[in-house]
Structure 1
């Protein structure tokens, strides 16, 4: 099957519609909804499940032959050409604590390449989107990465996984180093939003270990189409399946890589 522009536009419409419907579910829900723990500090709420159900129902109604990989459920068959990758509530811990930064992330891959990405930043309702070989948007405005070319003038962002193992310790080392030699390092707790902030020039670079495909799939194509350089954490070819990412405006990428590879 050949993929054309009309197909991609139609898939983008599906993703934007699903993101907006899921956002309605999240914004009208009570933050103190029933919650459980997937791990000691890894929360999941009834809102996660309701948002995911809405997204899956929309995708299945419009594209019943596509596979779905979702954080909480889904029907994933990687051998199929089309695979939707969704995070129904990115930043669940923020949401539960009424901290105003969380969102919804939906991506579509075709033959293992991401071709559509949509992220809703909540509660602001900024919708970031991109399709393969097209511009990246925040709402109706085209976005681009920053032009900053000096690490010392940069604002960075990172995240920490729930498991406090060796990768967590490595990232703590990098967090301290980059805090000392940049304008600052932020830790928002919502990976999809972090990538979109780098894509739109709000920050200059983002890195993270122990990250899941649904956390970065949509954001990665948005950042790429906004002009970002994306690699593995040590400069490897990027894959959403490798659980790590370094995304920058391209101008500070080399400096960051030198520090990362000499530290861990």
Structure 2
């Protein structure tokens, strides 16, 4: 098997998100949003960023396929495929809340092996390599601005964080062992676990472009990823349309926390 040039792949992801992020910072807070069929928002900035990212990736890595939020939702035939979220947190972006990101996940035969997320307003860059059972060889680990990150070793307590999404507030019907935070950005929500900020996070209805990059990064940092449905998320199926399919997910810092949190969040299924 010819192994990918991971250094080149990381450089391509960083250059693409840096370029797009610079323009999005100029648009931030000034974009007019429209409502899509699923109730989420889209702006001209989303559409522009989606096209720029697709073009950049396809020019730099022409053998790779692409699935993106504002483009095609059908999983392609290529062994390597990028999944793009041009602006994760469009509502924050539109309303002037300074927390939103650009997400790129690279899949091999339907399963993520690399993720890169850029948060322009914080000038933070997350990336991670998680080869799993792919048969690929390469670097390992998760990183924030080039420095290794790991999940927390702390026990659940009132001084620790757990992150919810807007559609998972049913969790609060019962007492919860951590302080709750709601950030409005699926990628950053889950990445707080990878960075050791939160002990866990849940997303009730994320789409494939919300989770592809962070699936690799969070697990590379030591997190436990638990789909809240019986079916496994990956590998994706060639030819299937993933435009409307949600992937309810719990991410925990450690296995024992997963066992503690899982009964509390099952209500969102």
Structure 1 length normalisation: TM-score? 0.86
1:245 aligns with 249
Q: Deviations over 1:33-74 (max 9, x none)?
A: 232111485211111111112111111111223211111114
SS at match of 2:78: coil
Any conservation in 1 of the 2:228–2:248 contact (CA below 8 Å)?
A: yes
1:187-239 per-residue CA deviation (whole Å, 9 max, x = no partner) reads 11100111111100111101112110000110111100000011112686454
Question: What is the CA–CA distance in structure 2 between the aligned matches of 1:152 and 1:199, rounded to whole Å?
Answer: 20
CA displacement at 1:124 relative to structure 2: 0.7
Q: Aligned-residue CA RMSD in angstroms?
A: 2.3
1:138 and 2:144 correspond: yes
Q: Which residue of 1 aligns with 2:134?
A: none
- Between stretches 64-73 and 87-96, larger displacement belongs to 64-73
Consecutive unaligned residues in structure 2, runs of 5 or more:
132-139, 237-245
**Where do 1:99-248 residues align within 5 Å?**
99-133=97-131, 134-150=140-156, 152-160=158-166, 168=167, 171-177=168-174, 180-233=175-228, 237-239=232-234, 243-248=247-252
- Confirm whether residue 259 of structure 1 aligns to residue 257 of structure 2: no
CA spacing shift, 1:196–1:263, aligned 2, 3 Å = closer
SS at match of 1:53: helix
Distance 1:240 1:97 in 2: 35
Q: State the partner residue of 1:89.
A: 87
3-state secondary structure, aligned to 1:87:
strand
- 1:61 maps to 59
Structure 2 length as normaliser, TM-score? Answer: 0.85
**Residue 104 and residue 70 in structure 1: after superposition, are their counterparts in 2 closer, same or farther (change >3 A)?**
same
Change (3 A) 1:79 1:206: same
User: Is the alpha carbon distance of 1:35 and 1:111 closer, same or farther for their aligned partners in structure 2, counting shifts above 3 Å?
Assistant: same
- Cα distance in structure 1, aligned partners of 2:157 and 2:43: 38
Number of equivalenced pairs: 251
SS at match of 2:155: coil
Distance change in 2, residues 1:240/1:247 (3 Å): farther
Query: Which one of the candidate residues 20, 23, 26 is aligned to 1:22?
Result: 20
Q: 2:33, 2:170 → 1: CA distance?
A: 32
